[in-house]
Structure 1
Amino acid sequence: MAGIPDPMIKTFEPAPAGMVRVVAWRALAETSSAPDLQSIHSERAALLHWWADAYQLEVDDWGETDAQRPAEFVELLIHIGETVLTAGIGALATEYVNRFFVRRKEKRAKKALTSQSGELPPPPNALPLRALTIVNQSGGNVVILDGLSTEDAARVIAQVMNPKWKGTELRS
């Protein structure tokens, strides 16, 4: 898949003062057809809106989250003063993403089976997000890939929530 940015090496601008930039990378698709990519993009948007509502986060800028054209990643800007932000990002990075998408895929497959005749292939075994990148105002950044434990995610997320931290952490 030439031309697809790599979350391990892609850099982002520092977040504005008092904010954190959360970058949600879409899952890699088996094909590059527009319907497949649009579906993944739409599901990611639904997840991010659900996540912000569930944690009562005020997103200052949704970036391209709701754009009509799919993108490899979308950026959100969130104020770091929100007390539930660290827990919310930890959940997004570790557990809620997988549980949310597994339930949606199962529900969609069940609905399709009852509304259509014939055999349908099982839902794709794709991860909902390829990675999550978090960037603070000093340019410190954390890249979290699938499989990170809750404890490790909490530690690196706490680091990047410090607006003066300038390090880089790559975790999987």
Structure 2
Amino acid sequence: MEETNWEQRVQALTHVLTNPTRNPSLHSQLFISTQIPCYLNWSYPPILCNKDQHTNAFPSLHLRWGFSLFLKRVSRLGAPETSWRSRCPFQQPPPLILAKGVEEAQWGDEQRRDYFKKRLRRKRFVSDVNPLIPIMIPNILLLSLLFWNPFPEDKL
């Protein structure tokens, strides 16, 4: 991606953002491959990449792409890939795959009010640690230095 200029990057990014899909069309793949010649993190093989065609290095580009795709799928344990967009059911356009536990958006007034009330009743994302613990632990450690000297002076 270092060999592309900013205009090509912006065009490719605009295309990816305006056409979100898991199965890009051939036209989309060709467009991205001309803008960014070696965009290996897409879900299609790098058949149009001409970066490593002249070298016979092992592992080949296709083998590296296949292995990275395998690692991505293994890390998710076969579950579909979700992102922050998948957790926003009221986003336009709606996400392709909803995250686990997220219901499809209901657009009636009463359904939106119920959804908002349910979001307000949801427990806040905070830790249940007693507030004295973060204060007491460092103070106890400093107090222990008064009784125990970790760097004793050399005895004569």
Q: TM-score, normalised by structure 1?
A: 0.25
In proportion to residue count, which structure has more strand? 1
Higher relative contact order (CA 8 A, sep 6+): 1
Q: TM-score, normalised by structure 2?
A: 0.27
In proportion to residue count, which structure has more helix? 2
